[in-house]
């Protein structure tokens, strides 16, 4: 099976029903997407497929059509995505476990809504849970990223 992740095509040989999250982490060593619940409840495993936000624990790798982007492909420490920069500015992360999923959700939200209201941010981020309670800083960082993208 061929799987394109962060601009690289991989040939993977796995069970047909193996979730994308397992393939990313265990086969390809891409550990940004986290295993939280495995049942579509937490969003820690969030990635993009052709820009759409997807919970990678919920899709079989063999069903993936399109380019998979994980946090590793969104930006790099040297060339961060605007959302990643805003996360640093606001020091959003506490334990950090949920944060790659949060950032992927925020990037997807801003690609569809360039200027989300508080309610739209809360709604757009509602599928991503953070046990540390970083929600106020997430909201602030999304707003900062929106402003920066607008000015770009």
Among 10, 12, 35, 80, binds ligand FES (CB under 6 A): 35
Between 51 and 96, whose beta carbon lies closer to ligand FES? 96
DSSP 3-state percent helix, strand, coil across the chain (nearest 5): 40, 15, 45
> With left for phi above 0 and alpha for psi between -120 and 50, is residue 133 left, alpha or beta?
left
Q: Which two tokens stand for residue 152?
A: 């770009």
Binding mask 79-118 for ligand FES (x = CB under 6 A): --------------xxxxxxx-------------------
- If DSSP codes are grouped into helix, strand and coil, which group holds residue 46? strand
Among 32, 43, 116, 124, binds ligand FES (CB under 6 A): 43
Among 117, 118, 131, 136, binds ligand FES (CB under 6 A): 131
Q: Is 37 in the site for ligand FES (CB under 6 A)?
A: yes
Between 6 and 22, whose beta carbon lies closer to ligand FES? 22
- In angstroms, the CA 139 to CA 110 distance is 12
The HSE-up count of residue 91 (CA atoms within 13 Å, CB side) is 0
Among 1, 8, 15, 41, binds ligand FES (CB under 6 A): 41
């Amino acid at each position: 099976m061929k799987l394109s992740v962060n601009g690289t095509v991989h040939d993977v040989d796995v069970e047909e029903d193996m979730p994308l999250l397992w393939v990313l982490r265990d086969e390809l060593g891409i550990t940004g997407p986290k295993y939280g619940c495995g049942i579509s409840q937490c969003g820690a495993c969030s990635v993009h497929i052709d820009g759409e936000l997807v919970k990678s624990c919920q899709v079989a790798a063999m069903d993936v059509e399109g380019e998979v982007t994980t946090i590793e492909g969104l930006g790099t420490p040297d060339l961060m995505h605007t959302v990643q920069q805003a996360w640093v500015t606001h020091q959003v992360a506490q334990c950090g476990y949920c944060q790659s999923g949060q950032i992927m959700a925020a990037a997807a939200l801003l690609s569809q809504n360039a200027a989300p209201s508080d309610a739209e941010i809360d709604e757009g981020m509602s599928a991503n849970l953070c046990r540390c309670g970083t929600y106020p800083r997430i909201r602030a960082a999304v707003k900062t990223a929106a402003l920066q993208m607008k000015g770009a």
